[in-house]
Every structure is written in C-alpha cells, then in structure tokens.
Amino acid sequence: MVTPHTNSLAHFFTPSSVAVVGASAKPGKVGYRVLEALVRGAGESAPPCQRRIYPVNPHAAEVLGLRCYPTVLAIEEPVDLAVVVVPAPAVLEVMQQCGAKGIDSAIVISAGFKESGPEGVERERQLAALARARGIRVVGPNCLGIIATGSGLNASFAPVFPSRGNIALMSQSGALATAVIDWSVQHNIGFSKFVSFGNGVDVGVVDLLRVWEDDPETSVIVAYVEGLPDGPEFMEVARQVSHKKPVIMVKSGSTQAGARAVSSHTGSLAGSEQAYTAAFLQSGVIRAHSVEELFDFAVAFAYQGPPKGRQVVVLTNAGGPGIMATDALERAGLRLASIDPATVARLRGRLPEASNFYNPIDVLGDADAERYNSAADAVLGDPNVQAVVALLTPQAVTEPKQTAEGLAKLATASDKPVLASFMGGEAMREAIEILTANRVPDYPYPERAVEALAATARYREWLEEPPDEIPRLSTDIAAVEAIFARARGEGRVNLGEMEAQEVLRAYGFKVPESKLARTAEEAAQLGEAIGFPVVMKIVSPDILHKSDIGGVRVGVQDAQQAQDSFELMMLRARRFMPNADLRGVSVQELVRGGKEVIIGSSRDPQFGPLVMFGLGGIYVEVLKDVSFRVAPFGPRQARKMIEEIRSAALLWGARGERPSDIDAIVGCLLAVSQLVSEHPDIVELDINPLKVGEPGAGAVAVDARITIQEAENGDGRW
Ligand code: ADP
Ligand code: MG
C-alpha cells in the first residue's frame, strides 16, 4: 500500500496538463463550466497559457474545440492533474483509471459523498482507500475546486477569476468560496491560491498549511473551517506555520456536542467552542468570528502588517468617529499614543487653533487634503506613535480623492501601519479605490479598522514570545495507576475526594490531612489526633456534591461536636440518598483563609485534555468566568489562564483583598496539565476549591473528584 506522499501538491497548483473527466458540451453543466474555466484561465489580460487540456467524455468527439478522449487512459501524454466532475456513482471507476494512467493528483468536484447519507459515506470511504492505495492525492469530493492566480489555473466552477495577490484561502464550504471570490473581485482583493476542499477526504487544512508555509506567493493564509480531523496535529503544524506567516481562521458550525453525561463543573463549562478558542490561542492562529472579519484581518496583514507596539494615533476630521475609534481601541486592548511635545508643536504650526492636537487628533470638519495630510505626516514621524487609524467623513470642503492620494503616499513611505476608514458611500468610492490600490486597507467603520489593527498587534506579540517550555515535574505515575486500578476493580469510575486527593498528592499537590471515621467515636478520636477545629465530610462514591445534602461541616470544635456531626451527617445521607454506598465521614485538617479557585479538566473529542481555571465556589457555573487551555502547556500559558478571567484582579489583591500566591496556582495548573496528559483515562477532574494563600503560602486542594474511563479499549487507547 502506498501512503499519501507529502509532496508539495505542486500538480494541484501548477499542472502542465489537466484532464477534465466528465467534460460536457452543454453550457450550464458543471462539466462544461469547469472546462471553460480551465481554458479561459486568468482571462484575456493574462499571457496565453501553455497548459495542455484534455476533455474526457466517451460520448463526445470534441468539446469547446478540444479533442475529447473516452477515458484518461486514451490520452497519449502524461497528465499532471485530473478534475473529476462525473456523477458520484462513476467516480470510483474514474479514479481507478486515473491510478492506472499514473495521475497523482485529482480534484473530485462531484457531490454525493459523506454529505449525502449512508451510501455516500461508504462511497467516500472507498474513495479514500482507493486514493491511498494508488498514491493519488485528492482534493474534495463535494468541492468547488482550485484556483492558482500565479499559474493562471482555474480548475473550478467559480464564475470569475480573482486578481493576483498574496492571500491564500482554503475553504471547507464551496458556496462560501464562490461568494468570497465574487466579493474579492468587487473589492479588488487579490489571492495567490484558492482551494475549496469540500469533504476533505485527503488534502485538508493541515496539508495546505504545510505547503503554503513555504509558498513564496503567499504571505497570509486564511481559512474557513467547520471542523478539524486531528486537533493535536493541527496545533503542531499551525504553531510552526504561524511563526512564518499569519494564519487567520473562521471556525463555524457546531461539532458533536458532548452527548455524554457530564457531572463535573468543568465538564459542563467546557464545550468544543472553548477547545477551539484555546487551541487557536496556543498555536498562534488568529481567530476571526465571521467571514467579514476574516478579510478585515487578512487585508490588514497583507497590505500593512503588524505595528511595533500598541501605541496608536486616531486622526480624524470629525469628533464622533474619533470617539468611536477611541472606544474601540480601548476594547481591543490598544492604546492612544501620547503625542510627543515636538509633534504637538509641529501640529500647532499646521492646524487651526480649534483643532485637537492631542490624541484623537481632530483636524476639524473644514480640513482640506493639505491640512489632513500635514497632520498625518507629523504623527507618522512621531517616535511615540506605532500605528495610525485615519478617519475621514465627507463634509463641505473635504477632498476625499486628494486626501486618499496624499495619505497613500505617506503610508507607503512609512514603516508604520496606516489603516483607514473613509466613511460614506458614493462620495468616498474613488478615494477608497485609491487607498486600496495603494495597499492602505479601508474599512466602512472605524471599529473594524481598529479590530483589524489589534489582530495584527496581537500577532506580533505572539511572534515575539519565547516558546512556552513545558516542564517535567517528577511525579508518581505508578501510584495513580494503582488507585485507578483499585477503583475499576470495585466497578467504579468515580473517585471521591479522598481517592482524588491521593492522586493529586502523587503529582505534588498539597492536600489537607484527612482520615476516614467509620463510627462517631472514631471521628472524635481522629479529631483529637488531627487537632480541633477540624472539617468533617461525608464519604461515599455516590455523593458527588457533599454540601448539597449537608455532608460538609467546617470548624468542628471538639470531640462532642465531632460525634454529633458524624451521626447527623450519616442520618442525612441515609435520608436523602437511601441507596448510597456510605463509607463513613472523613475528618480533615481545617485550612484557614485563602481564596477559593477551581482547576478542572475534561476531554475534548477534537483536541484531547482541556484544563480549566476560574474562581471557585458555587458561582462558577453561573458566571462562567473561566479560561481554558489544551494540555500540555507551560508556565506562560498557565499565567495567561489566570490573567484572562474577568475577576483576576481579585487575585492580584484589588479592592482591599489580599494578594494570592499566583506562582502556586501556576504550579498547580502545570501539575494538572501533566496529570491529564500522562493519564488519558482521566475523563473529568475538578479541584474545587483549591485554597490559595498569600504569596509564598502555597495552595491546598481541599476538595477534588475524578472520573475515569471504564476500561481500556481493545486498541490500547483510552
Ligand atoms: P462539596 O462536595 O460540597 O463541594 P467541599 O469539600 O468542596 O464539598 O466543601 C465545601 C466547602 O467547604 C468548600 O468550598 C470550602 O469552602 C469548605 N472546605 C472544605 N474543606 C475544607 C478544609 N479542609 N478547610 C477549610 N475549608 C474547607
Ligand atoms: Mg467542592
């Protein structure tokens, strides 16, 4: 069996010869449109193409003036690429013939595969097996095809050919792809390559990232995906590619929602949305939330690139839009640059008295092009300024066209990014065309310019970050395996507090001393031994949330109270959960003070173990103020998880709160990250709460629970 070769996929983008299997003479049929698109290529404006094109159709002698072949096997010359547009039931036979002909690359445009019911699913499986066995790389099925502007290739049924540029687009959706091409032509946005990979039976996101990483024609990669087959592989490749060029993605569609029952806080808060967000963050992928944003960001990267820092000037001829932009800056985490006194002096010499010389710089509504651009020139020369957002609204004496020309010249000469929002319709059309032609991206509203600029700024910061080294803590893996084996031996997958704390101890966690009391007298004795006051908790593998049934008492003062508490807890437990397996009551060291946080983990079908952090307690599921990362991760990501939650300031010691031991939380996050990575049979884990003391005091896991997989699968995986 031949495994798919990781070639450069060159035959898909620069084939010397292409066969169109299913070429049709009937206009309106896909087989006609694809052939016509191939013949037309980049159109009349481009130099004539030397590519050999072979229509294949047993029922025609000639299509579009080209000699037609009954099968690919009848073509005498070698064929680099087959474009398959026959009906689905005929695809497998055609692919067999392609294999026999020695064709190594095929685009299967035909629909009727896994998107269309059980029969299609089976057909797709066969297509995959055949392609693998024959060593044919396949794009599709159920796709629009491929366009490569550099080689003038249009192997698709897209009705228009986009202009040349440095953005490469991959799309899982074909319909979206046609819409994007159409729109890009209108807005004069250029592409290098364009791949609609449809069902992605073979070539998919990861392959395309790999080949575009080193593609000299591509400087920005954009992708529209609905799902990813292999999360960890994607993360590894995306991280590598993102270090060379920006990768911007829209992830839409819902993945298989957690159909399994979740019993932990973490499990109920962690969805595939959280997993994607974390995975993108950790691999440097820039996430866009709509197709609009995808291209807002793409042109900012393609035309201007990232600023050196977050200090931005807002330049405007109108107050309102200036304020909108300023608000957006703050929301996006950018800052208004403080203008250098020398620049203020220069502005004073150039602008009327009533102007605003401080950021946002308002050149007033009666500004002509000369005034506007003299201000732009001054701020671009300011050492405190790292980017400019230039706003213009059409007013009585505004000169949009001249302003655009001057601004474009200044932007080209400067190494600082300039993003524009020339607001308006017809009055601004020509000006916007001038800006775009000169690679100054223009956005219909200031907020969108600011968002795009912020995306580029974040990307630069990500590039500059040193790698997040994942530490290896020394842990007792065998001890954990033994605990899991014991539970499974008893037919249990839920580990209660005492067992879970044993597991955590093997990974270096501090846990309170606790002992199991089976009788009231024993509880009193254990209390004496540990030292009053103590905490007492009901112990049962069937009781997950102990407080809910009155199964926790904090601050048991003496032997008498210990005895009473024992009796009371057992009584309540028997009443509320008559069938519960009651083991007794644990007597536990009382941990004083500190903040309660939650650390949890659950398993994502796409990306594997996810780790969650948040402030603990009963509100966690209501407030959803939590952050996620895909494990394993290092201290940099752990620290970001803590900083990311909205209530993080409470941990730094805001509003009279005492500061918490952040280093200890980081240590605990890393330990959980390693624990769930080393034990893939952990399905869910909650440490709630972890009590965190003041800096240097450490953190104690006073409650924990773990759910494990029932048993190992036959293939050795969990
Ligand atoms: P539950 O199963 O209800 O979550 P916990 O063990 O988390 O039970 O206990 C409930 C609360 O009691 C905790 O959130 C914490 O505030 C407090 N608590 C539990 N154990 C201790 C302890 N050892 N020291 C101090 N407080 C504790
Ligand atoms: Mg708890």
Atom 5 of ligand 1, nearest CA residue: 703
Residue 520 and residue 522: Cα distance in Å, rounded? 5
Q: Which ligand approaches the C-alpha of residue 691 most closely?
A: 1
Q: Report the pLDDT value the prediction gives residue 624, as an integer from 0 to 100.
A: 85
- Return the SS3 of 655: coil
CA of 695 to the centre of ligand 2 (A): 23
Q: What is d(CA 135, CA 6) in angstroms, rounded to the nearest whole number?
A: 10
pLDDT per residue as tens digits for the range 431-472: 999 999 999 999 999 999 999 999 999 999 999 999 999 999
Going through 416-574 in order, the beta strands assigned E by DSSP cover 418-422, 494-495, 514-517, 534-539, 552-556
pLDDT at res. 176:
84
* Residue closest by Cα to atom 9 of ligand 1: 552
Q: Is 584 helix (H, G, I), strand (E, B) or coil?
A: strand
Residue with tokens 């072949």: 69
Give, as residue ranges, everything with CB less than 5 Å from ion ligand 2.
688, 703
Please tell me what DSSP assigns to residue 550.
Answer: T
| Element (DSSP H or E) covering residue 432 | helix 426-437
What is each CA distance from 422 to 391, 392, 442, 444, 450, in whole angstroms? 6, 5, 7, 7, 13
Give the residue, by CA position, lying nearest to ligand 1 atom 17: 554
pLDDT of 239 reads: 96
Tell me the ligand closest to 688's alpha carbon. 2
Long-range contacts: 112-117, Cβ < 8 Å, 24+?
Answer: 112/87, 112/88, 112/141, 112/142, 113/88, 113/141, 113/142, 113/199, 113/201, 114/142, 114/199, 115/142, 115/199, 116/88
Distance from C-alpha of 578 to C-alpha of 572, rounded to nearest angstrom = 9
DSSP letters of 588-651? EEPPPS-EEEEEEEEEETTTEEEEEEEE-STTHHHH--EEEEESS--HHHHHHHHHHSTTHHHH
Separation of CA 570 from chain center = 48
Tokens of 583: 């083991």
> 222 CA distance to ligand 1 centroid (A)?
48
Please check whether residue 634 is in contact with residue 469, taking contact to mean a CB–CB distance below 8 angstroms: yes
pLDDT at 160: 86
616 Cα: distance to centroid of ligand 2 (angstroms) = 9
Give the ligand with the smallest distance to the CA of 551: 1
CA dist 459 and 353 (Å) reads 39
Give the pLDDT score at 622.
78
**Which atom of ligand 1 is nearest to 589's Cα?**
23
Do the beta carbons of residue 586 and residue 570 sit within 8 Å?
Answer: no
Task: Report how far residue 25's alpha carbon sits from residue 193's, in angstroms, rounded to the nearest whole number.
Answer: 28
Ligand 1 binding pocket mutation candidate from 497, 540, 552 (most atoms within 8 A of CB): 552
- Among protein residues, the one whose CA lies closest to atom 23 of ligand 1: 590
Residue 140 to residue 129: CA distance in whole angstroms:
14
Question: How many angstroms does the Cα of residue 597 sit away from the middle of ligand 2?
Answer: 10
Output the pLDDT for position 171.
Answer: 94
Vertex 74, ends 69 and 78: CA angle to 5°? 105
pLDDT of the residue at 3 = 41
Q: Which ligand is nearest to the CA of 595?
A: 1
The span from the CA of 417 to the CA of 376, in Å, is: 12
Atom of ligand 1 nearest to the CA of 591: 24
- CB-hemisphere CA count at 13 Å for 62? 3
Quick one: pLDDT at residue 676? 98
How close is the Cα of 475 to the center of ligand 2, in Å? 24
Alpha-carbon distance of 229 to 46, in angstroms, equals 38
The whole-number pLDDT of residue 718 equals: 40
| pTM flag (> 0.95) | no
Give the C-alpha separation, 502 to 509, whole Å.
9
Q: Which residues contact 261 (CB under 8 A, 6 or more apart)?
A: none
Which atom of ligand 1 is found nearest the CA of 514?
23
DSSP 314: E
Note if the bond before 533 is cis, omega within 30 degrees. Answer: yes
Contact present, 43 and 185 (Cβ < 8 Å): no
Q: Which atom of ligand 1 is nearest to the CA of 588?
A: 23
Question: What pLDDT is stored for residue 4 in this prediction?
Answer: 44
**Positive or negative, the Cα torsion across 591, 593, 594, 598?**
positive
How far is the CA of 383 from the CAs of 276, 360, 413, 416, in angstroms? Answer: 38, 16, 15, 11
Ligand 1 pocket residues where CB is under 6 Å: 512, 535, 537, 545-547, 552, 554, 588, 590-591, 596, 689, 702-703
Q: Of 296, 286, 249, which Cα lies nearest the Cα of 444? A: 296
Whose CA is closest to atom 21 on ligand 1? 702
- Please give the Cα distance from 563 to 184 (Å, whole number): 76
Decide if 616 contacts 709 (C-beta within 8 A): no
Which ligand sits closest to the CA of 496? 1
- Give the model's pLDDT for residue 146: 97
Ligand 1 mutation pick, 494, 497, 535, max ligand atoms within 8 A of CB: 535
Q: Which of 553, 554, 621 to mutate to test the pocket of ligand 1 (most atoms within 8 A of CB)?
A: 554
At 313, phi and psi to the nearest 5?
Answer: -105, 135
Alpha-carbon span 288 to 180, nearest angstrom? 15
Q: Give the distance (Å) from ligand 2 centre to CA of residue 511.
A: 13
Quote the ligand 2 centre to 510 CA distance (angstroms). Answer: 16
Rounded Cα distance between 484 and 495, Å, is 8
In sequence order, the β-bridge partners of residue 146 are 155, 195
Ligand 1 centroid – CA 570 distance (Å): 18
* Å from CA of 576 to ligand 2 middle: 19
Residue 552 CA to ligand 1 center (angstroms) comes to 7
Q: Say how far apart CA 190 and CA 39 lie, in whole Å.
A: 21
Ligand 2 centre distance from Cα of residue 563 (Å): 23
Q: How far is the CA of 535 from the centre of ligand 2 (A)?
A: 13
Pocket test for ligand 1, best of 495, 618, 702 (most atoms within 8 A of CB): 702
Q: 212 with 195: CB under 8 angstroms?
A: no
Residue-level pLDDT at 26 = 92
Closest by CA to 227, choosing from 202, 245, 253, is 253
CA–CA gap between residue 130 and residue 303 (Å, rounded): 43
Which residue ranges of the chain lie beneath pLDDT 70?
Answer: 1-7, 44-49, 253-266, 618, 712-718
Angle between helix 369-380 and 341-350 (nearest 10)? 170
Atom index in ligand 1 nearest the CA of residue 617 equals 14
* Token digits of residue 514: 């606790």
The distance of Cα 461 from the centroid of its chain, to the nearest Å, equals 17
Give pLDDT, residue 542: 86
Q: Which of 139, 130, 179 is nearest to 18 (CA)?
A: 139
CB 364 within 8 A of CB 319: no
Ligand nearest to the CA of residue 538, numbered in listed order: 1
